[in-house]
Structure 1
Amino acid sequence: MTRTVYFIRHGQTEWNAERRMQGQWESDLTELGRAQAKQTAAAVAALGVEAIYASPLRRASESAQALCKTSGLPATYDDRLKEWSAGDWSGCLYADIVTRWPDEWAAWRKDMWGYRPPNAENFADLKERGAAFLEDLSKTQADRIAIVSHGFITRAMIAHLLDLSPDDALHLETPNDAFFRLRTEPAGWRAERYEAGSRPVSLFNGVTPPDLA
């Protein structure tokens, strides 16, 4: 059996545009974000999808609904697909975080995988809950699955499936107008990234694990 999983980030939000830390706090899609969600929905639906799972946070659920409308499928929401908890930084401008928590910011930037900002998660936490979700997902009957979530949790789940190092995982780029397609092949998972609904143009911006070359 060949399994295909699409990892989709929500469209641009107001806080994305403002450079404000969202975490699990809510922020609405911008007009551009809604257009990005529709564009991605059309591309994924054309490639084929049989089941949709999504984060219940509003920006992801609205993006998922664009795919639901295009594909005619319902979405199943799971709390494990929420973005990382940003703790005390939630809702703060990035520029203000650097000023108010200079030491903590420097520590986080040095070790985003292992360091936890004040009352926040780290990437290791995300990988653990993402792996638990993917384990349950492996038991479903659908062969082509879309997961609509967020930038950080998407990196963590892809890192789990591809067994990426923390450094390679953190170098994955997950813009609001791109999505990943991972497919099982005899040698393991094969990964492609689609940008702006186009044909696949890159693997991880040059980060290509040896088993994917």
Structure 2
Amino acid sequence: MCGRIANTLPTDAMARLFAAAPANDLPPTPDYNICPTNPVHSVSVTGGQRRLSAMRWGFLPHWYASPTDGPLLINARAETIAQKPAFAAACRERRCLIPATGFYEWTKDTEGNRLPWFIRHTDDTPLAFAGIWQDWGQADDRLTTCAIVTCAANTPMSRIHHRMPVIVAPEDWPLWLGEAGHGAATLMRAAPDDALTFWRVDPRVNSNRASGPDLIEPFGD
């Protein structure tokens, strides 16, 4: 699962990193508490060109009558993505990368309190989550929406949660984006056990109104 994101990368740095042309309406960064239904940065290919654009985090199938017509689809399971009616076409035709500095996950203590953790690359390089996207609505109501692909957690991450986002390595970006032919399904796997590091952070992040760089600082024991 992946339910909150932090992205501290400047727009121009993301554009250079992904060799993508940036749109004019990108959400501001840094943002240490990106929540479902917020806009996220995404990299997709249109007309043979990589584009860095904003997408609503929360995939809307074309049959939804409104954005609240069904479940909020922020994640898509790698094991079933190709068979689910909501995701199958997007998995084949509309894949994207979602840049991030890190993401949050939660455990619970013996009293049931939610304890947040921050997860990032061990070498502090940016993450690129595997995503899928879908245009929804018409004219002024039109939205471009996305979901993050998840898989079973690797061994270290399984201490926190049994799922984790699929993280695409730079050398595999062309394959996931459809620039390097077929075979993207082979990328829907957990990151190596040594790829990520994580630590407890302030429970303030449990609120979607919390903000600021202190949200990703180590907290507690």
- Normalised by the length of structure 1, the TM-score is 0.29
Q: Which has the higher contact order (CA 8 A, sep 6+)?
A: 1
- Normalised by the length of structure 2, the TM-score is 0.28
Higher percent of residues as strand: 2
